[in-house]
Amino acid sequence: MNGEIFPSGPDFRAMVQGLDSGILIHEAASKNILWANEAACRMFGFRLEELRPLKAHHMSSPDQRYRRDVGVAWLQEAVVRGESRRRWKYRAKNGEVFLTDAVAKRLDFRDGPVVMVVFRGVTPEDDLRAELDRAEGYLQRLMVSASAGIALLDEENRVQDISDFAARLLGTTAEEAAGQRLDALATPSLPLDGEVVSGHLSHPGDPVEITFEVDAEDGTRWLSVDIEVVRHDGIQSRLAAFRDVTEREELARHNEYQQARLQYMSRYNAMGDMAMTIAHELGQPLAAARNSLMGLQARHASGNLSTEDFEYGLDLAARQLTRSAQIVSSVKRYVQRIETSMAVEDLDDVVADALYFAQLRAREKGIELQADLSEEPLPVKVDQILIGQVVINLCFNAVDEVSEAIAEGLTPPPVVELTCFREGDWACFSVADRGRGLAEPTDQAFSTKQDGAGIGLIICERIIERHGGELVFTSGEPGTIATGRLPLVESVGSSEE
C-alpha cells in the first residue's frame, strides 16, 4: 500500500458496494435518485439505470402511509434537520413489498447537498422485538406519569412490576412489593382467589373492581383497584390500576352511620310515644275490670250478691281483660320486629298492622279512620317497623288536623281516609283529610306536638327515600293528601339485595 491516507476513493467504493444495507443517494433539492449501491439494486430488482428515473410512488408500498408526499416530506426533514429515521415500505420491480428500517441523512458533496438513505430489511423477529421494546417503554412511561398507580400481576396475583405511585399508595416501595401477593400488601373486599374475581379474570377485557384497605402510618387508606387481564401478541398479563378513594369511602361510611342513627332515633322516639299511647288505652279496660271486681268484692262482703250478679260482674271484668290482652298482643306483634332488617312484605299487611295504632288516636279524637286496602298483593322490600311508623305518623297528623279544624269552628267531615293501591311499578299508600291544608313546613326532624308520633315529616320523607321511594303532599281541596310510593319488588327484580 502507498503512503496515502487509507482507504482511497476506489476502496470506499468497494466498501459501499460490499454492504448488505441498501444505499440511495437523492439530490437534496429535487429528491431525484442520483445513485444506488448494488445491495439497493438487488433489493428492488432494478439496474441502476432503471432506478434513477423512478419517483417515490413508483418504488414504495401503495399503502396511503407511504404515498409520494409523505416520502418527499421525510427526505426534506433530513435536508432541514440533518437526519431523519423511520420505517418505510418499499416496493420491488416484481411488486413485492418489503419493510425496511431507513435512515435519511444530509451530506454536502462538492457539487451540492444530497440525501443519503441507508436502509435494511426488517424481519418479523426484528419487528416483534421492536414492538416489545416500544410497548415496554410505553408501559414504563405510563407507570411513571399516570395519576392512577399501575401494577403488573402474574396468575398468582404476585406483583411483577409496579409503579412508584402505586407502591406509595400501598405504603411500601416498588422493591419491597416485587414478588409479593397483592392481598399480602393490603386487605381486599373480595378474595382474590374466589369465584367472583376468578370469573372476571377468566375473560380478557372483563375487569373486576375491588376495594383494598391499607393500614397506613397516617390512618386507614382505601384503594379502588381495577384488575383486568390484557393480551397482546400472545402475551397475557394482569393489569391492576389503583386509585385512592379514602375520602369517598369515609364519606360513605359516615353516611351509613348517620342513616343508622336516624333509624335508631326514629324508632326510639316513636316507640316511646307509642308506649304512652298504649298505657293510656290500657288504662280504660283495666280500670273497668278493677271496678267490676271491687264491686263484686263489696257486695259479697255485705252479703248482697246474687249468683246472677256475680256471673255478670265476672263476665264484665273478663271482657275488659280480654280487651287489654288484645291491645298487648297487638303491641307485641308490632314491636317484636323492631330489630328486623329489610324483607319482602305486602304493603297491605304493613299498613294493616299500623292501622290499629292510628285508630286509637282517631277514636280518642272522635274521628273515623276509613281504610281501603288493595285487593291485589303489593310486594315491597321494606323495614316494616319504619314504614309502619311513617303510616302512623301521617295518620296522626291527619287526625289532629281534622280535630283542630273542628275546634276552630270549621265543619270538615270527621273522617280520615287511608288507602293502598298500585300505580304502575309503585306500591302506594295515601292518607287524606279534609282539614285546613298543609300550612306548616315539613323540615322538622321530630314532632314537637305534645302527643305527636315521635318523628317529623322530614324523617318520614327520608325513610321513604331510603327505601327507594318518595313521599309527596298534594292539596285535597280542601285538606291534604299525603302519598307514599315504594318500588314493587317485581319491578326491581334481581337487583334487590
Each of the 497 residues of the chain gets a pLDDT tens digit; together they read 444 444 567 877 888 888 889 999 999 999 999 999 999 999 999 999 999 999 888 899 998 888 888 889 899 999 999 999 998 999 999 999 999 999 999 999 988 999 999 999 887 776 666 666 666 655 555 554 455 688 888 888 899 888 888 888 888 888 899 899 999 999 998 899 888 888 888 877 788 899 999 987 777 888 988 888 876 555 677 888 888 888 887 777 777 767 666 666 665 665 665 666 566 667 767 887 888 888 888 888 888 888 888 888 888 888 878 877 877 776 666 555 555 568 899 999 999 988 877 888 888 889 999 999 999 999 999 988 788 888 988 998 899 999 998 988 888 889 999 999 999 999 999 999 988 876 554 444 334 444 444 346 777 888 898 899 999 999 887 889 999 999 999 744 434 44
Amino acid at site 168:
R
* Domain shared by 57 and 151, yes or no: no
Cα dihedral 381, 385, 388, 394, rounded to 10, equals -120
**Residue among 135, 54, 134, 45 nearest 98 (CA):** 45
Q: Which of these three, 225, 244, 263, is where a domain ends? A: 244
Sheet holding 368-372, edge to edge: 368-372, 415-423, 426-432, 480-487, 470-475
Residue type, 223: L
Which strands, in side-by-side order, build the sheet including 219-232? 159-162, 149-153, 235-244, 219-232, 208-216, 187-188
Question: Residue 157's closest CA among 184, 181, 186?
Answer: 181
In a domain, 95, yes or no: yes
Residue 68 domain-assigned (yes or no): yes
Domain match, 276 and 176 both: no
Separation of first and last alpha carbons in the chain: 94
Last residue of a domain, one of 187, 217, 244: 244
Flag whether 249 is in a domain.
no
Q: What are the two backbone dihedrals, phi and then psi, of residue 245, each rounded to the nearest 5 degrees?
A: -120, 30
The grid coordinates of residue 342 equal 329489610
227: left (phi over 0), alpha (psi -120 to 50) or beta: beta
Do 148 and 293 share a domain, yes or no? Answer: no
With vertex at residue 247, the alpha carbon angle to CA 242 and CA 252, rounded to the nearest 5 degrees, is: 105
Q: What is the CATH number of the domain that holds 184?
A: 3.30.450.20
Q: Is residue 3, in this structure, part of any structural domain at all?
A: no
With residue 120 as reference, give the H or E element that holds it: strand 112-121
Specify if 2 maps to a domain. no
Residue 385, domain member (yes or no): yes
Domain end point (choices 185, 215, 244) = 244
Q: For the chain, what is the largest distance between any 2 Cα atoms, rounded to a whole number of angstroms?
A: 162
Task: Please give the single-letter amino acid code of residue 161.
Answer: D
- 107 with 147, same domain? no
Note whether 363 and 479 are same-domain residues.
Answer: yes
Residues 107 and 212 in one domain: no
What CATH number should be reported for the domain holding residue 275? 3.30.565.10
Q: Which pLDDT does position 13 carry in this prediction?
A: 83
Its domain, for residue 225, covers: 128-244
Q: Are residues 262 and 225 in the same domain?
A: no
At residue 199, the pLDDT reads 85
Say if residue 159 is in the same domain as residue 111. no
Domains identified in the chain, total number: 3
Name which of 387, 356, 400 is nearest 471 in CA terms.
Answer: 387
The answer on 443 and 396 residing in a single domain is: yes
